[in-house]
C-alpha cells in the first residue's frame, strides 16, 4: 500500500485527469468507471482513500500501461523521494499557486495567463490560492 504522500500524489492525478481516466476505464473490456467512482466517493466522504487509489492504479496498469496513474502525470513517473514540500514544483520560483481546496491531495496548478482556475473533481470547488 502506498504511503500518505504517494496516495496524495495519486489522488491529485485522479482529480486533475478524472475525465481522461474515466474514458480509459470505459474503453476497457469491462467498460465501466466504477473504480473511479469509488475513489471519488471515498474522497468526498472523507473515508480511507489509499486502498481505492491503489486498486485504481493497479487496474490501469493491468489495462496495459505500466505507469498506471503516473501515465497522467506530466513527468510520467512516480514522484521522487527528495525532501521538498508536497505540491511544489522546484523548477518554479516562489509565486502564487493554486492547491487542493480541502488539502486532500497534492494537486497544484500554476496560473498561466487568464485561464480559469481549475475545479476539484472531488468537491467541485475551485482550487485554493496559496503562495509559496
pTM over 0.85: no
pLDDT, tens digit, for every residue of 3-24?
568 899 999 999 999 999 999 9
For residue 22, what are the CA distances in angstroms to 29, 79, 81, 116? 13, 23, 29, 22
Residue among 102, 20, 80 at smallest CA distance from 56: 20
Of 113 and 94, the structure prediction assigns the larger pLDDT to 113
Mean pLDDT value across residues 97-114: 89
| pLDDT classification of 37: cutoffs 50, 70, 90 | very high
Burial class (CB in 10 A: 0-12, 13-18, 19+), 14: buried
pLDDT, tens digit, for every residue of 88-98?
555 545 578 99
Q: What is the structure's pLDDT at 112?
A: 82
How much of the chain exceeds pLDDT 70, in percent?
81
Q: What is the structure's pLDDT at 76?
A: 52
Domain ranges of the chain: 4-72
How far is 124 from 26, CA to CA, in rounded Å? 22
Q: What is the structure's pLDDT at 82?
A: 46
Amino acid at each position: 500500500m502506498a504511503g500518505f504522500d504517494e496516495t496524495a500524489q495519486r489522488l491529485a492525478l485522479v482529480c486533475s485527469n478524472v475525465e481522461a481516466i474515466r474514458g480509459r476505464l470505459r474503453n476497457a473490456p469491462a467498460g465501466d468507471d466504477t473504480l473511479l467512482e469509488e475513489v471519488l466517493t471515498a474522497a468526498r466522504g472523507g473515508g480511507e482513500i489509499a486502498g481505492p487509489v491503489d486498486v485504481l492504479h493497479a487496474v490501469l496498469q493491468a489495462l496495459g500501461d505500466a505507469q498506471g496513474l503516473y501515465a497522467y502525470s506530466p513527468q510520467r513517473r512516480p514522484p521522487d523521494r527528495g525532501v521538498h514540500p508536497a505540491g511544489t514544483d522546484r523548477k518554479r520560483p516562489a509565486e502564487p499557486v493554486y492547491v487542493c481546496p480541502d488539502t486532500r491531495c497534492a494537486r497544484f496548478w500554476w496560473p498561466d495567463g487568464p485561464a480559469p482556475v481549475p475545479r476539484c473533481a472531488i468537491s467541485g470547488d475551485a482550487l485554493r490560492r496559496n503562495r509559496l
